[in-house]
Structure 1
Amino acid sequence: MIIAIDGPAASGKGTLSKKLAAQYGLPHLDTGLLYRGVAKSVIDNGAGLQDRTAAEKAAKSLNLASFDEISLKSHQVGDAASVVSAYPEVRAALVDLQHRFAAQPKGAVIDGRDIGTVICPNAEVKIFVTASPEARAERRVLELRGRGEAPDAAKILADILARDERDRNRAASPLIQADDAHLLDTTHLSIDAAFQAAIDIVEAVRAGRRA
C-alpha cells in the first residue's frame, strides 16, 4: 500500500506521515528533506541558490546516509529548498530515488508536494493536507522556539506566503491537489484529531477496495 501525502509547508503532513507509517508498519520518506539536502549542499559549497548547475550536481550526488535532520530543518534551509525545488533538473534528478523508495514490497508512506500527482499517481491512498497560512506560521514559530531560536512571527508568515506562491506557480510539478486526493484541513485540529482523520481516510479507501 502506498500512501501519498501532499500539502504546503507546516500543514502537518510530515507529522501525519510519520504516524501513519508507524500505524501501518510502512517505511516513510519525507521528500522535503531531499530538497533541503540539495539546498544545504549548495549553501555549504558556497554556490548561490540561483546556480542551477550546482543545484543539479548536488541533487545527483545526494547521500541520504549523511543527512543531519536537525540542521536540515532550519528556517534558512527550508526557504532555500523552496528555491532549488523549482528547478526541473533538480526534480528530475530526485525522481528515480523517490520511485525506488515507493517500489518497496510492502509499499510506503511518502510526503511532499507532488507525490500524488507526479511521483506516485497510482497510490492507493492520497491525502492533501492543508491549513490556513496563519495557523501554519504559528506552528512554525512554535517549532523554532522549541529549538531555542527567536523567530520573527511576521517574517515567518510572509515567508510561508512566498513559499506557497513559489510552490503553486513553479513550472515543474506545481503544488496542486490530485483529483482523487482526500482533502484534510488541519487548521483547527490537534495532532491526535488530524491523525484520526487521516486513519479514517485510509480505512475508508481500504474498505472500498475490499468491497
Structure 2
Amino acid sequence: MNKITIAIDGFSSTGKSTIAKQVANHLGYVYVDSGAMYRAVTLYAMNQGLIAEDYFDVKTLNDKLSEIKVSFKFNKGLGFAEVYLNDKNVEKTIRSLEVSRFVSKVAAISAVRKKLVAIQREIGKSKGVVMDGRDIGTVVFPDAELKIFMTASPETRAKRRYNELINRGDNVVYESVLKNVQERDYIDSNRKDSPLVKADDAIEIDNSDLSLEEQFEKVLELVRKTLEIKENKKSN
C-alpha cells in the first residue's frame, strides 16, 4: 500500500499536534511532534541556566548541543509517543507556559534547527509519517505529498491554550497566554532561519470555527485524495 509524507505547519495552538496524532493513528503512520523537540532543547537550556527573560547564552547552548539527546518512546496507554530528553520523560514538563515563553527564541538558533531537522529527516525517510511544526513543508519535507497549513485567530488560540493549561492544573491568566501567543507568532514569522510561512503548495485550514471531528474529516478527505492521485500516477 502506498504511503505518503504529511506535513502540517501553522501557528502555535492551532491544534496541529491533535490533528496530526489523530491522522497518524487512523492511518497507522508514525507521528512526530517537531515542536516538542524544540521544547525539549529549550527545557535543557532552562535547566542549565542558559536562558531567562533578559539573558540567553547562545554560544554555550551551541557548544552543548552534542550533549542533548531528544527521542520519542511510544506509550501504549496514551496511544502516542512521549518526548524524552537525555532518556528522561519530559512530555508534561515541556508543555508549561515557562517553556513556551522561550521556545521560539531557542528555535530561531540555526545550530539548533540544523541538529533537529537532521533527526526529523531521518525519521521520515521511509514515508508513512505525519509531522507537525513550523517549517515541515518548507524545509524538513519540501517534497511532502500533502502539506497543510493550520491557522486561527490569536484570541481563539489563546483561549484554547489557556483552557488546556487550566485543565492541567497550571496557575495562569488569559492575558499572559494571549501575549505569549502573539509574541511567538512574531518571532516564528520573522526569524532569519526557516521562518514560519505557508508553503506555496500547502492547503490552508482555518479551524477557528471547526470542531475536532469536522477538522479530522476535512484532513482525512485531503489524505484520501492525495493517496488516490499517487496511486493513479503509479498506475500510469
Confirm or deny a common fold (TM above 0.5): yes
Structure 1 counterpart of 2:207, from 183, 186, 193: 186
Structure 1 counterpart of 2:31, from 28, 38, 44: 28
Summarize the Cα distance change of 1:37–1:186 in structure 2 as closer, same or farther, 3 Å threshold. same
Is 1:51–2:88 an aligned residue pair?
A: no
What are the superposed Cα offsets for residues 32-71 of structure 1, whole Å, 9 maximum, x if unpaired?
0111011100111122252112333454322324341100
Superposed counterparts of 1:106-145, under 5 Å: 106-145=127-166
Instruction: Output the CA distance in 2 between the equivalents of 1:58 and 1:198.
Output: 39
Summarize the Cα distance change of 1:111–1:177 in structure 2 as closer, same or farther, 3 Å threshold. same
1:80: how far off?
1.3
Highest CA radius of gyration, 1 or 2? 2
Aligned to 1:16: 19
> TM-score, normalised to structure 1's length?
0.95
What are the superposed Cα offsets for residues 73-115 of structure 1, whole Å, 9 maximum, x if unpaired?
1111122111100111111121210111111x34211110000
Which amino acid counterpart does residue 114 of structure 1 have in structure 2? Answer: D
Which amino acid counterpart does residue 106 of structure 2 have in structure 1? Answer: V
Partner SS state of residue 150, structure 1 = coil
Query: Normalized per residue, which structure has more helix?
Result: 1
Which amino acid counterpart does residue 52 of structure 1 have in structure 2? Answer: V
Partner SS state of residue 53, structure 1 = helix
Which amino acid counterpart does residue 96 of structure 2 have in structure 1? Answer: S
Aligned to 2:175: 154
1:160: how far off?
0.5
Aligned to 1:78: 100
Instruction: Output the CA distance in 1 between the equivalents of 2:100 and 2:155.
Output: 18
Asked whether the 8 Å contact 2:151–2:204 carries over to 1, the reply is yes
- Name structure 1 gaps, 5 residues minimum: none
What are the superposed Cα offsets for residues 150-173 of structure 1, whole Å, 9 maximum, x if unpaired?
321111111101100000000000
Asked whether the 8 Å contact 2:50–2:58 carries over to 1, the reply is no
How many residues matched?
210
Partner SS state of residue 109, structure 1 = strand
- Name structure 2 gaps, 5 residues minimum: 72-86
RMSD value over aligned CA atoms? 1.3
Asked whether the 8 Å contact 1:168–1:174 carries over to 2, the reply is yes
Partner SS state of residue 199, structure 2 = coil
Partner SS state of residue 199, structure 1 = helix
Instruction: Output the CA distance in 1 between the equivalents of 2:135 and 2:106.
Output: 15
Instruction: Output the CA distance in 2 between the equivalents of 1:12 and 1:55.
Output: 29
Structure 1 counterpart of 2:123, from 92, 101, 104: 101
Which amino acid counterpart does residue 182 of structure 1 have in structure 2? Answer: I
Asked whether the 8 Å contact 1:56–1:93 carries over to 2, the reply is no
Provide the identity percentage: 37
Asked whether the 8 Å contact 1:114–1:173 carries over to 2, the reply is yes
Asked whether the 8 Å contact 1:2–1:102 carries over to 2, the reply is yes
Aligned to 2:111: 89
Which amino acid counterpart does residue 51 of structure 1 have in structure 2? Answer: D
> TM-score, normalised to structure 2's length?
0.85
